[in-house]
Amino acid sequence: MIQRTVVFIVGMALLISCGTGKKNEMSKQSDSVEILDPHTFAKPHEVKVTHLDWKARVDFDQKVIEATATWTVEKSKKADSLILDAQGLEIQEVLLNGNESAKYYRGEEDVHLGSSMVIFINEDTRKVSVTYTTGRDAAALQWLAPEQTAGKEHPFLFTQSQAILARTWIPCQDSPGIRFTYNAEVEVPAGLMALMSASNPKEVSTAGKYTFQMEQPVPAYLMALAVGEMSFQSIGEVTGVYSEPSMLNKSVYEFANMDSMLHAAERLYGDYRWGRYDVLVLPPSFPFGGMENPRLTFATPTILAGDRSLTSLIAHELAHSWSGNLVTNQSWNDFWLNEGFTVYFERRIMESLYGETYANMLDVLGMEDLKKDMKSLDPKDTRLKLELEGRNPDEGMNNVAYEKGNFFLKTIENFYGREAFDEFVTQYFDTFAFKSVNTELFLEYLDSNLLKTDTVKREKLRVNEWVYSPGLPDNCVKVKSRRLQRVESSLKAWEDGILDIDELKTDDWSSHEWIYFLRKLSTDLSVNELSELDRTFGFTRSQNTEILAAWFIHTIRADYEPAHEPLESFLVSVGRRKFLVPLYGALTKTEKGKDKAKRIYEKARPNYHSVSRNTIDDMLNS
Ligand SMILES: [Zn+2]
């Protein structure tokens, strides 16, 4: 069984939960030292940060941030050092309580973790200030030249801190299990706007000076900053959109449903606790679909399809305001708690807005993504509880956490009924609000609050198999979509020569139906057949990036000439890793394609964030 251990340390009390269900986890713990997160050097049970005052100047010429991070700390009586995570930072000065110079040293550099920064403190130390400059190649920061933006006139900077990149721009205790509030004063070139994962301005400051507050405690991976030419437009009372001015109208149109999504989410699982919910639409090099920075989701412009058809991504990031930002995975080994819950919640929001048939399509597509990933992953990485120690936590960011996590929760819902499950989830978010949870604590809570109500069902559910075994258990809830089945029948009728391509009834198809159509399309179509499809449906000219990316897989394979140039310009401008991986992957299947991939990548690489660069570097050099 699993139990919760409460450890009290003189001068402070920390609730530390640990899994006792697994031997290897226990063996990592010695006496009072608990290593809860293998991706941080911090020892929060000795000295823990609780608040950050961050003063920064953003220098676009040097591509650095010069800053002072002043940490308020909480310490045990005996503790004599604060340990922070830092990577590539040039440290100028460390002060205690604002005036006393401190001794410190940097630990050995680890390729994934950076190094520890051990700062000696005194008994009366309450504040520790570190003055520093970020490295020229800080992995979290992406500096865009004016020509890489939509407006082409001003440079742009954005950060991506998840999973462990916050330490490349702020010396911090970079663990999802450690939370702090923050205030910031940020100076940027006049005329540009600065935004953070905090209370944000709506107007440009002529002096380029901005202040921010984040009153709710957040972990370091939710620290975020964007600087550039941006404007704001509100959508509802507490929702709105920021983007480069030329993208604003398009973005506002696309996200018109944000308010309804927020209300649907609140109806499902309780109050939204972060004040405002705004979305920032970034330039296209943003490596992810979205990042759930609190109060201000960062989103890729590749979801601006012009028909609001890809907005489940906003539902996803919004859902993170509960699963992830409010109740947080304690380490990246528990990543499924953030993402599985969020996918489940996202689909429930979409179901409330657009009905069950719509949500079913998302589930079927999700199941396909999951099965595909499971085939290519090492079986040990297909378990929900991951073992990422000694590895880059980015390796856990695949559909296992997202979709297997979602289907685990859906299966529990199926066993115990929606009403009981929803009640459980609401209570879970309440109980652990602004706290971190690991898999073992979650399972214990799930057992006591839901599973125990029916021990026969509990037996049949086989929770341990879901969480600790590879693959997908055979009791997984079955998902079906009538709308996607219709697509399959239409496709078959065309492939069997029963219907001509222009006889297919596609008028009411959403993006999801088109994506499914392209996925199911035979992989050995001739150039002539592709050409016929393209003439009828205009895939190569599609404004919908999901459809375009699914189409390019076929055009690459058949070396379909009319798509050569559009593919190249897509790869050069879009930095979203989800698209880059399959497209470069398809190119590298032939020698000719490999040369082409390398040639395009040489041009595209400067436009990609380090997160995408690392992945594609590996792919093309292996
Ligand atoms: Zn997510």
Q: Is the pLDDT of residue 35 over 80?
A: no
Give how far the C-alpha of residue 118 lies from the chain's centroid of Cα atoms, to the nearest Å: 29
Average pLDDT of the residues in 130-153: 94
Q: Please, which residues have CB less than 5 A from ligand 1, an ion?
A: 339, 342
Ligand 1: centre distance to CA 584 (Å): 23
Ligand 1: centre distance to CA 457 (Å): 29
CA dihedral 528, 529, 533, 535 (to 10 degrees): 20
Angle in degrees, 0-180, between the axes of helices 564-573 and 591-604, rounded to the nearest 10: 40
Ligand 1: centre distance to CA 95 (Å): 37
Cα separation, 424 vs 421, in Å, equals 5
With bands split at pLDDT 50, 70 and 90, how would you rate the model's confidence at 36? confident
Ligand 1: centre distance to CA 317 (Å): 6
Give how far the C-alpha of residue 580 lies from the chain's centroid of Cα atoms, to the nearest Å: 16
Nearest to 172 by CA among 64, 37, 71, 33: 71
Cα separation, 45 vs 35, in Å, equals 10
User: pLDDT at position 3, please?
Assistant: 32
Which of the listed CATH numbers 3.40.50.740, 3.40.50.150, 1.20.1290.10, 1.10.390.10 matches domain 327-468?
Answer: 1.10.390.10
Ligand 1: centre distance to CA 372 (Å): 19
Which of the listed CATH numbers 2.60.40.1730, 3.20.20.70, 3.30.470.20, 1.10.1040.10 matches domain 48-307?
Answer: 2.60.40.1730
Residue 276, burial from CB neighbour count under 10 angstroms (0-12, 13-18, 19+): middle
Average pLDDT of the residues in 545-566: 97
Strands 156-159 and 127-133: unpaired
Radius of gyration of the chain (CA): 25
Ligand 1: centre distance to CA 38 (Å): 21
User: pLDDT at position 420, please?
Assistant: 98
Share of the chain above pLDDT 90, in %: 92
Ligand 1: centre distance to CA 365 (Å): 16
Ligand 1: centre distance to CA 319 (Å): 8
Average pLDDT, the chain: 93
User: pLDDT at position 34, please?
Assistant: 55
Lowest mean pLDDT among 181-185, 551-555, 605-609: 605-609
Lowest mean pLDDT among 27-31, 274-278, 370-374: 27-31
Sequence spans of domains, the chain = 1-35, 48-307, 327-468, 521-621
Residue 478, burial from CB neighbour count under 10 angstroms (0-12, 13-18, 19+): exposed
Which residue bears the tokens 């304690």?
330
User: pLDDT at position 467, please?
Assistant: 98
Q: Is the pLDDT of residue 30 over 90?
A: no
Ligand 1: centre distance to CA 295 (Å): 15
Ligand 1: centre distance to CA 344 (Å): 11
Ligand 1: centre distance to CA 461 (Å): 25
Cα separation, 80 vs 274, in Å, equals 35
Ligand 1: centre distance to CA 346 (Å): 9
End-to-end CA distance of the chain: 44
Cα separation, 156 vs 149, in Å, equals 7
Would you call 402 a catalytic residue per the annotation? yes
Ligand 1: centre distance to CA 94 (Å): 36
Task: Give residue-wise pLDDT tens across range 398-446.
Answer: 999 999 999 999 999 999 999 999 999 999 999 999 999 999 999 999 9
Catalytically annotated residue among 317, 346, 403, 444:
317
Fill in the amino acid letter for 369. D
CATH class of 521-621: mainly alpha
Would you call 317 a catalytic residue per the annotation? yes
Share of the chain above pLDDT 70, in %: 94
Let me know: does 620 contact 598? Beta carbons within 8 Å. Answer: yes
Average pLDDT of the residues in 486-514: 95
Strands 115-120 and 47-59: unpaired
Centre a 10 Å sphere on the Cβ of residue 27 and count the other Cβ atoms it contains: 8
With bands split at pLDDT 50, 70 and 90, how would you rate the model's confidence at 622? confident
With bands split at pLDDT 50, 70 and 90, how would you rate the model's confidence at 305? very high
Residue 528, burial from CB neighbour count under 10 angstroms (0-12, 13-18, 19+): exposed
Does the reported pTM lie above 0.75? yes
Q: Is the pLDDT of residue 109 over 70?
A: yes
Catalytically annotated residue among 402, 428, 445, 516:
402
